[in-house]
Chains A and B, each alone.
Chain A
Amino acid sequence: MEDNDIIYIERCKDGDGEAFAVLYDRYIDKIYRFVYYKVFEKETTEDIVSEAFYKAFKHIVGYDETKGSFSSWLYRIARNAVIDHYRGKKETANIEDVFESGYSERFSEKLDAKEIFKKISKHLESLSPKQREIIILRVWEDLSYKEIAEITGGSEGSVKMAFLRGIKDIREKFGPLALALLILMRP
């Protein structure tokens, strides 16, 4: 969370719409990437991101900074929006299923991301869903363990341990050479 997020949040609570616009500009790219790394499909990502920001817009007046950072709150809304999206397609939706669901729905897109993901998916799919999500949030999104814990639930300690186990699992199964080869094979 940026240091002065709280300033804009308080202004939002006073009805300052421009303050929300500042927060929107600050987080739209991050939330977009966060959702995209789960669903890997442009239109679905845009639908979910729209839904997430709409909910944030509606509920920011009720945001309580004592319960966690604004960015974690926003990520949590986006995470729940992903779950809700897939819940509409299945009787039960667990965030752990979303990764597989999203992967199977990926349409043909001329995006570097899809090709890359195909190559690295065997690495990430070997992890537990929780490890996978934590590694993506820590390594690709550069979030702190505290923020990841606020987003995914659980303690900071459990997040750290899951991260460690995930890293070790990938490394033991595939080793650094395999990852290096993947990088060299990138289009």
Chain B
Amino acid sequence: MDQKIENIIKELYALDPILRERDKDIRAFVVSLIELRPEISVDKNFVIDLRARLASRKFPVTPKMNHDFSWWVIRFVPLGAIAILILVFLPELTKPAPYGTPIAPSAFAPSETEEASDQEFFRGLSEPASTDAFSAPADSGKSLTMMAVSINSINVSSQNPGSVVTVGSVELEKPGFAVVYADKAGAFGEVVGNSLALPAGGPQRVQINLSRPMREGEVFYAALHTEDGDGVFDAEKDAPIFDAITGSPMYMIFTVENNSPEFAPGL
């Protein structure tokens, strides 16, 4: 503090030497000005929350990095996929087969049941992952782990009671929808609203009109769905979007609270 005062005073005298004649006066004044600085206590929860929201974003890379990343993807992801396939199907492959017996295509293709299970994912989800799955733990200290995530992302803050949800930020690799689900005993319940068909790209702020008003204390989920080209949301045909890296569904949980910020920065 003393050094700071001396520096400021030295600067003032350099600019206007006449001020030296009132050295005592000037010093008292500068000290007073410094001591009048309001003490601000930064909300630590805000700091942690913002860090977590930034962590959930895809980190932009320079074109050189993209090229390097593509090099690795082209060469090693297929090898990894082949290795997994071999390990999974090795028992089947080592079984002796009669000469000429064809391999059933269903051994390598997802069944209709498996495809349908994706459609039912949100309805049958018993323990939806909270946003904590993508945020740094509260006591993460100074370090923050950022994952390379898919281009798809959705961010929504707490909402005021009412019939309109403002999703602060939606990014889509391909055209899709932002869909709001009610909560049903800690799981995804019914669809209560969806956006218009959204173009690929972003980030874009989206407003969704709901079929019924939100009440304070309620919990909802905002999820990303694909768009099959007809411009109309159909839960049967427009499948949920999953993160390409983690395989987790792209959604965010939010609560309804009075006095929520009207403008959600939507990071």
Contact = CB atoms under 8 A, between A and B. Distances in A.
Q: Tell whether A pairs with B.
A: yes
Interface of A: 12-15, 17-18, 20-22, 24-25, 28-29, 32-33, 36-37, 42-43, 46-47, 49-51, 53-54, 57-61, 111-113, 116-117, 120, 135, 138-140, 142, 145, 160-161, 163-164, 167-168, 170-171, 175-176, 179-180, 182-183
Nearest to A48: B265
A29 B29 CA distance: 27
B15 A24 contact: no
A183 B263 contact: no
A17 B46 contact: no
A139 B8 contact: yes
A72 to B, nearest CB: 18
A47 B32 contact: no
B32 A33 contact: no
B38 interface: yes
A49 to B, nearest CB: 7
3 smallest beta-carbon distances between A and B, as pairs: A17-B146, A21-B144, A113-B38
15 contacts: A18-B144, A22-B143, A28-B47, A29-B42, A33-B40, A36-B40, A50-B267, A113-B40, A135-B33, A139-B33, A164-B16, A171-B26, A176-B32, A179-B36, A183-B35
A171 B29 contact: yes
B172 interface: no
B144 A139 contact: no
A131 B23 CA distance: 22
Given A20-B59, A20-B146, A161-B15, A180 B28 contact: yes
Contacts of B32: 176, 179-180, 182-183
Contacts, number: 138
Contacts of A49: 50
A54 B65 contact: no
Contacts of A59: 60
B37 interface: yes
Interface string B1-30: 000100010011001100000000110111
Given A13-B62, A29-B42, A50-B50, A18 B146 contact: yes
A69 to B, nearest CB: 18
A22 B55 CA distance: 12
Given A15-B59, A167-B12, A140 B50 contact: no
Nearest to B147: A17
B8 to A, nearest CB: 7
Nearest to A160: B15
Contact of A24 (B54, B59, B61, B263): B54
A182 B261 CA distance: 34
B100 to A, nearest CB: 52
A140 B29 CA distance: 14
A179 B43 contact: no
Given A18-B145, A24-B144, A47 B265 contact: yes
A54 B29 contact: no
B145 A15 contact: no
B51 interface: yes
Contacts of B75: none
B39 interface: yes
Contacts of A171: 25-26, 29
A145 B11 CA distance: 10
B143 A18 contact: yes
B34 interface: yes
B144 A14 contact: no
A171 B8 CA distance: 15
B42 A139 contact: no
A46 B30 CA distance: 30
A43 B25 CA distance: 39
Given A50-B265, A163-B15, 11 more contacts: A14-B65, A20-B54, A20-B59, A20-B144, A21-B55, A46-B46, A54-B265, A57-B57, A176-B28, A176-B32, A180-B28
Contact of A15 (B54, B61, B261): B61
A32 B59 contact: no
Nearest to B169: A54
Contacts of B261: 43, 46-47
